[in-house]
Structure 1
Amino acid sequence: MESTAGRASAETLLGGTEIRALAAELDLTPTKRWGQNFVVDANTVRRIVRTADVAGLDVVEVGPGLGSLTLGLTEAGARVAAVEIDPRLAELLPRTVARKQPDARLSVVHHDALTLKELPFPPQAVVANLPYNVSVPVLIHLLERFDSIERVLVMVQAEVGHRLAAQPGSKTYGSPSAKVAWWGPWSLEGDVSRQIFWPVPNVDSVLVGFRRGPSMGSESLRRRTFTVIDGAFGQRRKMLRQALSGLYGSSAAATEVLERAGVDPTLRGEALGLAEFIRIAEAGDPSAEARPSAQ
């Protein structure tokens, strides 16, 4: 016999049949352009919400789609600002949520998350099934724009998730790994089967997230540090003294900066953690006008 809790969950969340019916109502075919793969498994939604631990918090969700995860978040008591780029989905979502959960606290923002400047409230957390094609740029933009964010849990392509959580020296460590560490330590928080999506993607997914750590410094320092990171990984096969020569005018000038920072000029960017990149940015401002490169 089905339990009362089971019936309640079925009534307040979306299942695969309902999701396909909603898509048919809109004559919607999921598009790769906007990275649309909709979650059709309520158990996975519950697991994500439980892992996110955002009950009662103010949450921003990017790419809510037809509302699977949105309903899981509102059911848990979160106040949600759902940012949706597709106008059809942005119009349908509040009706779906009102029908399933009349008391849900939801604001729908029809906007491109990459250029988002404001929300109805300062978000404390980001929880989302992020579009695979823009997941890293969206995360960095949100963290740059909203300093109220203390917690992130996102579902992303496995390759992207491993890169975000990578440590210096690993094969997957790169510019995104070093940059997102500015806001706190990232970790993998679960695997996700590709079978819980419609349509089924041709890649695996993971849950990856962080909780905000201590401040690393000013906004000006962050920007300088990110410039150094971009320079170091823009030519990742080269030693730092060469890779950063364009920022500081020459290999000799870059070497001077690296030595002041206590960083071996013969290392490559993949060997450095965020702390070393910060020291380089403090030792020499890469935003200053560089002299012509003379390697």
Structure 2
Amino acid sequence: MVELLGPAEIRALAEELDVRPTKKLGQNFVHDPNTVRRIVELAGVGPGDVVLEVGPGLGSLTLGLLDAGASVVAVEIDPVLANRLPCTAAERAPEAADRLTVVGADALRISSADLPASPVSLVANLPYNVAVPVVLHLLAELPSLARGLVMVQTEVADRMAAGPGSRIYGVPSVKLAWYGPARKVGAVPRSVFWPVPNVDSSLVAFERGPAVSDIDRQRLFDVVDAAFSQRRKTLRAALAGWAGSADRAGKLLAAAGIDPKTRGEQLAVQDFARIAAQA
């Protein structure tokens, strides 16, 4: 069994590397082995799986994924952490270290060509400030990505998993639903992180589902962005800029079978696809 990192090991590694966690990079390192095992179990990761991990940091989750038998492609933007991770794997998981590949890059800029293998699963403790953009970018760029389990700020998790009609349903909810269903699967206590964050965290699981529509994705996303840019307005008013005028927006909505007085938070992703198809 791989020896996972605890609080003492995390602090020792940080001291060795002179790492001071920064808010800019959203660095909060998990130091609880039981939490790591729980995440890996919920992710359903097993032998032979190719897993993409974004922001591995000091390697807590990386070691847990290797322990489950997975091959891990870890994308790390911090060169100091990226250089140390293979050494940590060799020290604590010598029999599994050859299943780890570290890619020093910004996850918001990578494509499939930048990776040594095609990942089927994303498992990550994501920096809170870029969680949604990272997930959406990876789903768009990596067609092999079939599922994921990410740890994010609870407020973000709620928005990612929200359904039509909810007060917190919005752009992240619809865009993630374009790819497939998402759901919250658990809370993560603040005490398992170093440093302790001032926000709560939750786990969100998602799967890539069948295509919602054959409409161009960006075309649909433009409609979604416009619909939620002014939440209190009716769709006829909110989509006026996108459609060219409020009158034309009303006609497009009617043609899509949607009441122009409806608001964006009442529509499912399939409804937005019908609107985009009329343009």
Alignment length, in residue pairs? 274
Task: Look up the match of 1:18.
Answer: 9
Task: Name the amino acid aligned to 2:160.
Answer: L
Q: Is this contact kept in 1: 2:253–2:259, CA < 8 A? A: yes
Q: How far has the Cα of 1:171 moved from its partner?
A: 1.2
- Tell whether 2:195 aligns with 1:203: no
Superimposed CA distance per residue, residues 162-203 of structure 1 (whole angstroms, 9 cap, x where no aligned partner): 000001111111100000001111000111001000000000
CA distance in structure 1 between the partners assigned to 2:45 and 2:272 by the alignment: 32
Aligned pair partner of 1:101 in 79, 93, 99: 93
Task: Look up the match of 2:165.
Answer: 169
- Tell whether 2:137 aligns with 1:141: yes
Task: Look up the match of 1:54.
Answer: 45
- Tell whether 2:254 aligns with 1:263: no
Q: Which runs of 4+ in 1 moved over 3 A?
A: none
Task: Name the amino acid aligned to 2:109.
Answer: T
Task: Look up the match of 2:107.
Answer: 113
SS of 1:12's equivalent? coil
CA distance in structure 2 between the partners assigned to 1:58 and 1:12 by the alignment: 21
RMSD over aligned Cα atoms: 1.0
Task: Look up the match of 1:76.
Answer: 68
Q: How far has the Cα of 1:237 moved from its partner?
A: 1.2
Task: Name the amino acid aligned to 1:137.
Answer: P
CA distance in structure 1 between the partners assigned to 2:254 and 2:45 by the alignment: 44
Task: Look up the match of 2:244.
Answer: 249
Larger Cα-atom Rg: 1
5 Å-filtered alignment, 1:22-41, equals: 22-41=13-32
Q: Is this contact kept in 1: 2:26–2:128, CA < 8 A? A: yes
Task: Name the amino acid aligned to 2:250.
Answer: T
- Give the unaligned 5+ runs of structure 1: 1-7, 285-295
Q: How far has the Cα of 1:140 moved from its partner?
A: 0.5
Task: Name the amino acid aligned to 1:191.
Answer: A
CA distance in structure 2 between the partners assigned to 1:39 and 1:194 by the alignment: 9
SS of 1:82's equivalent? strand
Task: Name the amino acid aligned to 1:53.
Answer: G
Task: Name the amino acid aligned to 2:241.
Answer: G
Percent identity (aligned): 58
CA distance in structure 2 between the partners assigned to 1:230 and 1:122 by the alignment: 30
CA distance in structure 2 between the partners assigned to 1:122 and 1:203 by the alignment: 33
- Give the unaligned 5+ runs of structure 2: none
Task: Look up the match of 1:287.
Answer: none
- Tell whether 2:126 aligns with 1:124: no
Task: Look up the match of 1:291.
Answer: none
CA distance in structure 2 between the partners assigned to 1:80 and 1:161 by the alignment: 24
Q: How far has the Cα of 1:119 moved from its partner?
A: 1.1
Q: Is this contact kept in 1: 2:213–2:270, CA < 8 A? A: no
Aligned pair partner of 1:67 in 59, 71, 84: 59
